[in-house]
Amino acid sequence: MTPAVRLFIAINLPESERQAIHDSTAPLRAAAKSVTWVAPDCIHLTMKFLGERPADDVPKVRDALAEVARRFHPLRLDVGGVGAFPHLGAPRIFWMGIGADPKLELLHHDLEVACEALGHDVEARAFRPHLTLGRVKRDIGAEQLAAMARHATNVRYRGTIEARSIDVMQSELSSAGPRYTILAAVPLGHS
């Protein structure tokens, strides 16, 4: 039996944009030290979480993504605005938004269909494209919540990023934080 790997499908951002996002959110991180913040090199747009899979599933996933990717040209993603799930008054996850784009929605839909054909469950929640910035692990006092909400609304980063590929990613969890590795990069718009 092949070893299991933790897989997800993502759109990765250029290093310069990840760093600019990280830099622009420094005041928010300073106001919320109890939040587990995502390192700049780990900022990405998750398209589909696949979970623990046999390592020999990677070529099957890559091939399925290639079928989807050839139908799409590179996408321009408008990035900006900070929010939280479920909301800033009771945050569990801090995020930076990705503007609504019918092409991105269609790409997500087609990825769901392709993954379902491989035996993966279809995500029950609506697709809300975002870049995860941090996760709240414990309750936060009212004063810190107010400071975090104020700093979140003051983040001024705005950018347009060209998504040129969809990537099969491996996630390795550790006490030092997750490490993500691109196992296969599938370019958009290629036959």
Tell me the mean pLDDT in the region 97-121.
96
Distances in Å between the alpha carbon of 108 and those of 16, 43, 173, 185? 25, 18, 25, 16
Q: Are 152 and 97 in contact (CB under 8 A)?
A: no
Give pLDDT tens digits for 69-104.
Answer: 999 999 999 999 999 999 888 899 999 999 989 999
CA distance 35 to 135: 6
Specify the CATH number for the domain of residue 30.
3.90.1140.10
Distances in Å between the alpha carbon of 102 and those of 39, 43, 129, 152, 158? 29, 22, 12, 27, 20
The closest alpha carbon to 163, from 83, 32, 31, 75, belongs to 75
Instruction: Give the pLDDT band (50/70/90) at residue 144.
Output: confident
Instruction: Give the pLDDT band (50/70/90) at residue 3.
Output: confident
The closest alpha carbon to 44, from 156, 150, 125, 133, belongs to 133
Can you give the pLDDT at residue 190? 67
Domain count, the chain: 1
β-partners of residue 121 are none
Instruction: Give the pLDDT band (50/70/90) at residue 191.
Output: low
Q: How far is CA 125 from the centre of its chain?
A: 15
Give pTM, 2 decimals.
0.93
What range defines the domain where residue 162 resides? 4-187
Q: Which of 11-15, 126-130, 144-148, 160-164 has the lowest mean pLDDT?
A: 144-148
